[in-house]
Amino acid sequence: MHALANPLRFQRLADAVLPWVAWPTLALTPVALYWSLVVAPADYQQGEAYRIIYVHVPAAWMATFTYVMVAVASLVGLVWRHPLAEVSARAAAPVGAVFTAIALFTGSVWGKPMWGTWWVWDARLTSVLILFFLYLGYIALHDAFEDPARGARAASILALVGAINLPIIKFSVDWWNTLHQPSSIMRLDGPAIDASMLYPLLLMILLFKLYLLTVMILRIRLHLDERKIVNLRLGTRDMAA
């Protein structure tokens, strides 16, 4: 893992992996959207309104999955001082915040016709809202210090503390009586969704994951390039002094 701390090694790996995630993302996007928004049948209770789950569910999954990435990378950065881990966490946080915002927005749009209200202080909704604030707090803390190392450390500690919220998000519908429906896919007795609706949903989840990997590679490369430019400027300034 420490071998990847070398930016040149990571760059070579990124160049090899990027086409395998970027091109499938572009190719699957129209297929997944058409299958989920047009081909999949309407729900017998919710009608066409249920189709928002094809955006809401993948976004919600990616919101928590991305935070796991931020927390793990923060832990690696704190314990092993792995420079690429800190860069990875910083690159992932804004993407996770966008996923969380999409999940909250689509959940509210879905909740209005289904529950009769845009928002309730439901355990699942509230814990996801806290997740959104954790993302914003991580981003703000990272840039709140003049010393980048101190900012990275403070943000990493917040990310690790905030990981306590992840099991609350997952099990909130089981621990408390909430309006939000329980899990329909990850069940011991199998998915509770018909295959004609499940398969396009799984394809959308795969599409969101491929998109996350694509954006992560591009953002990590961008952060490494920015660090290289800063180091060059500092070196030039020291030589001039």
Average pLDDT over residues 58-66: 95
> Using a CB cutoff of 8 Å and minimum separation of 24, what contacts does 81-87 make?
82/1, 82/2, 82/5, 83/5, 84/4, 84/5, 84/10, 84/220, 86/152, 86/156, 87/220, 87/223, 87/224, 87/227
For residue 205, pLDDT over 90 is answered with yes
Which of helix, strand or coil describes residue 180? coil
Residue 238 pLDDT greater than 70, yes or no: no
DSSP state of 41: P
Angle at 214 between CA 211 and CA 219, to 5 degrees: 120
**pLDDT over 80 (residue 237):** no
What share of the chain has pLDDT > 90, as a percent?
A: 50
- Residue 162 in this model has a pLDDT that exceeds 90: yes
Residues 6 or more apart in contact with residue 157 via CB below 8 angstroms: 74, 78
The three-class DSSP label of residue 154 is: helix
Residues 10 and 12: their CA atoms lie apart, in Å, by: 5
Amino acid at 31: V
pLDDT reported for residue 93: 96
User: pTM for this one?
Assistant: 0.88
What number of residues does the chain have? 241
To the nearest 10 degrees (0 to 180), the angle between helices 195-240 and 83-115 is 140
Name the range with the highest mean pLDDT among 68-72, 105-109, 110-114, 172-176: 68-72
Q: Which is higher by pLDDT, 208 or 45?
A: 208
Rounded average pLDDT over 89-118: 90
Confidence of residue 4 (pLDDT cuts 50, 70, 90): low
Pairwise CA distance, residues 60 & 100, whole Å: 6
Mean of the per-residue pLDDT values of the chain: 85
φ, ψ for residue 47, nearest 5 deg: 65, -145
Task: Flag whether pLDDT at 20 surpasses 90.
Answer: yes
Please answer whether residues 56 and 107 qualify as being in contact, where contact means their C-beta atoms are separated by less than 8 angstroms. yes
Q: Does 164 score more than 80 pLDDT?
A: yes
